Amino acid sequence: MQLKKSYLIIAAGCMWMLAGINVFHIGFQVWEIKKTMPWLHFFGVIATFLFFAIIFNKTYTKNVNRISKMDNPRNPLSFFDIKGWLIISFMITLGITVRHFALLPVYFIAAFYQGLGACLTIYGGRFLWTGAMSGY
């Protein structure tokens, strides 16, 4: 069974959006509003967002180009390559470990997760838009 390339791009977008919403939600849950300085928290969220926007822009371009060059995509999970899946697995494991063992202060985790989650969600939307509008 051959898959449309646009379906793989849309699948990637769904995964990024679900991950982004989940990460943002975790950041919001641990955020202790009364114990933070709003301007510092806002700066942390924006700095994290901008940092990951640079990384995700390159990843987005690389993955869309790789998918568009596939000959006969058959695996519905092939929207990422092996390296991408390994990085995702590492990042999830790292995030769980950092939160479980309280390796970083809660105010840092809150700002970091909110910035990362927002960025993942926006780039997930970008994947969805590309997949929906592509002629693959």
pLDDT at position 136 over 80: no
The confidence band for 38, taking pLDDT boundaries of 50, 70 and 90, is: confident
Identify the pLDDT of residue 7: 93
Can you spell out the DSSP letters for 28-71?
HHH--GGGS-HHHHHHHHHHHHHHHHHHHHHHHHHHHHHHHT-S
Which tens digit of pLDDT belongs to each residue from 54-94?
A: 999 999 999 999 999 998 888 888 989 999 999 999 999 99
Full domain range(s) for residue 44: 5-70+78-133
pLDDT at position 1 over 80: no
Which tens digit of pLDDT belongs to each residue from 95-106?
A: 999 999 999 999
* Torsion sign across C-alpha atoms 53, 57, 58, 64: positive
Cα distance between the two ends of the chain: 16
Question: What are residue 79's phi and psi, to 5 degrees?
Answer: -70, -15
CA distance 84 to 63: 9
For the chain, the domain total comes to: 1
